[in-house]
Structure 1
Amino acid sequence: MPDFHSLSLPINGALFTVGALLVWFAGTKLSKYVDLFADRTGIGQAFAGALLLGGATSLPELATTLTASYSDAVEMAGTNLLGGVVMQVAVLAVIDAFIVRGQPLTLFSPKSSLLMVGIMLILLVALATAAISSGEVFSIAGIGAWPVGLFAAYVLSLWVIYRYEGNPRWEPRGEIAQPPETARDLKDAHQAAYREVSTRKLVCYFAIASMLVLIGGFIVAKTASVIADQSGIGQGFIGATLVALATSLPEVSTTYSAVRFGAYSMAVANILGTNGLEIALFLPAEIAYRDGPIFDAMQPSAAFLGSMGIIVTSLYLWGILERRDKQVFGMGIDSLAVLLVYAGGMAIYWTL
């Protein structure tokens, strides 16, 4: 493994850019493959986005979390996970502002299953915030009860989402807005381009793209961590901002790609599902960190990031439920609220 600390800041910056481009390229492919797989198998876009796409795009977070925890940079590992939850919801707001045209993003996502995904995410983040506030209850062989409980809650949430999407108990009323014509045309062209590709080949393509995301995400995360050390900025704030942004690049690229070809529900489910997996990654972080329970080593200020994650997720659930068609500065009111909360919250977190 190369020693990035021995390299200069400009070289690490160049490597960061190369890794980011690799993550972006492979990430845009992932959303297309998952969308095709969901259509062919009938498993549902919300579930596919939450499990398959969310899992693949979380590979950089897994690599970063394991590396940071094993290197005793446990504060960076924890704030990267919680900061990533807030960062990735803000990604939806940015995409709503610059990519979606004509109507807010949440107007194009009239699926009750997305509300279930969001509710499960709020539950997981609330549990993680409680773990930070209370500290570890007990541990066996260095593995605490909280990380195991969080992972179990994540697995349970997947089962709940899958069962609900297969038999939703209610459907939205009123106008069901359709994606812009260009997005439908793009998706139809994409379906036609892969019509002759078998499902087995799609799975292979998905695995290759996932590996490229992992490699690129590892480079991005490692160089971002070194850049943080070389700049002298605190581990916690860098973990919640720069490293969280670096490891969120797959979500940015896949969500951008999904929105471009009209898979709006998958785009939202990708972000919300990935955020749920972020919380589950506290278990591998606990296993990699051998100096005691991870929640005992984290600063209480990390709970503030968890609270921000609950707030921004709640704002998007409000948008999905209400489905307003009004825009402010080219985005939905919910997206504007998310960006304001993110900017204000990170300013407060800087002072903690």
Structure 2
Amino acid sequence: MFMIYILFIAAAIITVITAVKLSTYADVIGERTKLGGMMAGVLLLAGATSLPEVTTSITAIVVNNPDIAVSNVFGSNLFNLFILAAVDLVYRRKRILQAADSSHLSTAVLSIVMTASMAAVMVFPIGFSVLGIGVEMLLLAFLYAGGMIVISRAGSNLTPLSADEPEPQHNAISLRHAKRGFAVAAVIILAAGSALSVTGDLIAQATGISSSFVGAFLIAGATSLPELVTVIVAIQLANHSMALGNILGSNVFNMLILIIIDAVYRGGPVLSIVSPAVLAAAAGVLILNAVVIGAVMMVNRKKPAAVYSLPSMLVILVYFLSSYAIFSFS
């Protein structure tokens, strides 16, 4: 048992160190290509830092534990929004949410639509599939594709950084080096994140905690370490737009993992057989997304500084209430 803890800590350290590099390389690519900070966060960082969730969910299906697979997706999204709120409170003087624009709002709205659609399927299962994939998953893919078109168009109309906001510079790193470094770091994140998830699952099994709570709380938190580190590094690089894009983009990208889960699972539509705890996690994601959207709109309307931190505090409160609900339904 002691060795499992050692492996868990080692995987966590490797994940954190690699995530720092991943964020730096993504920032360089965003600077020197047409992606920009927002799309670098939504596409590059979101996809790469979601790799541990992909591996964990597939592994859970292989060992015939769909509850862990699905709850890991919604639990990760729940934890990601908690990360955004916690970091916003710690760096409240930087007013991270002021970097948000219509493209970030579009990403948050897309996350709500995709989550609400899958939550509705859990309550009212469709039970119809095409080539082994549920119809609801085809809808999910359609929503993602349409949403990405809208987000990319919104991102192309972003205004440049203001003159008084420092713009990060990485003159020592070439674009070619950044692309190669990003690819290598993504592979390491995949391996370390997988080890983190497996050892975390073993620790949870030893404690006798239910599968749904393990997936939505313990494993989701462990596999979200890359998001936590990359957000902090992005803020240190004064790229608040990429920090927001990483969290919101990861939540959208994570929803696509449900398609993979449904395709791999052979016991029928996977959303129809998960426990009520997974639905509680999805409901928590919907509430937190709504609060974040409200917070962004409040900041953009120049509300007093005294009330700036209230939405982030509310997100943290709802996160813990949701975690308690997940544990209660498990």
* 2:106 is the alignment partner of 1:145: no
Match of 2:259 in 1: 283
- Give the residue type in structure 1 aligned to 2:67: E
The answer on whether the counterparts of 1:105 and 1:332 sit within 8 Å (CA) in structure 2 is no
Within 5 Å, which residues of 2 pair with 1:45-60?
Answer: 45-60=37-52
- Give the residue type in structure 1 aligned to 2:257: L
Within 5 Å, which residues of 2 pair with 1:207-218?
Answer: 207-218=183-194
Provide the rounded CA distance (Å) in 1 between the counterparts of 2:146 and 2:92. Answer: 36
Within 5 Å, which residues of 2 pair with 1:273-312?
Answer: 273-312=249-288
Within 5 Å, which residues of 2 pair with 1:251-266?
Answer: 251-266=227-242
Indicate the SS of the match to 1:102: helix
**More deviation, 156-165/73-82:** 156-165
Q: TM-score, normalised by structure 1?
A: 0.87
Q: CA shift at 1:314, angstroms?
A: 1.3
Q: CA shift at 1:148, angstroms?
A: 2.5
- Give the residue type in structure 2 aligned to 1:148: L
Q: CA shift at 1:139, angstroms?
A: 1.4
1:227-269 per-residue CA deviation (whole Å, 9 max, x = no partner) reads 1111100000111100000110110110111011111111011
Within 5 Å, which residues of 2 pair with 1:226-265?
Answer: 226-265=202-241
Match of 1:105 in 2: 96
* 2:297 is the alignment partner of 1:321: yes
Q: CA shift at 1:327, angstroms?
A: 5.0
Q: CA shift at 1:270, angstroms?
A: 0.4
Indicate the SS of the match to 1:137: coil
Match of 1:3 in 2: none
Q: CA shift at 1:306, angstroms?
A: 1.2
Within 5 Å, which residues of 2 pair with 1:1-352?
Answer: 8=1, 10-98=2-90, 100-107=91-98, 109-167=99-157, 184=166, 188=168, 191=169, 194-323=170-299, 324=303, 326-327=305-306, 332-352=309-329
Q: CA shift at 1:144, angstroms?
A: 1.2
The answer on whether the counterparts of 1:326 and 1:333 sit within 8 Å (CA) in structure 2 is no
Q: TM-score, normalised by structure 2?
A: 0.93
Provide the rounded CA distance (Å) in 2 between the counterparts of 1:60 and 1:50. Answer: 17
Q: CA shift at 1:156, angstroms?
A: 2.1
- Give the residue type in structure 2 aligned to 1:294: V
Indicate the SS of the match to 1:281: helix
- Give the residue type in structure 2 aligned to 1:221: S
- Segments of structure 1 that go 5 or more residues without pairing to the other structure are 1-7
- Give the residue type in structure 2 aligned to 1:145: V
Question: How many residues are paired up?
Answer: 324
- Give the residue type in structure 2 aligned to 1:121: S
Provide the rounded CA distance (Å) in 1 between the counterparts of 2:142 and 2:52. Answer: 22
Runs of 4+, deviation exceeding 3 Å: 176-179
The answer on whether the counterparts of 2:102 and 2:154 sit within 8 Å (CA) in structure 1 is no
Q: CA shift at 1:101, angstroms?
A: 4.6
Provide the rounded CA distance (Å) in 2 between the counterparts of 1:15 and 1:37. Answer: 32
Indicate the SS of the match to 1:279: helix
The answer on whether the counterparts of 2:105 and 2:293 sit within 8 Å (CA) in structure 1 is yes
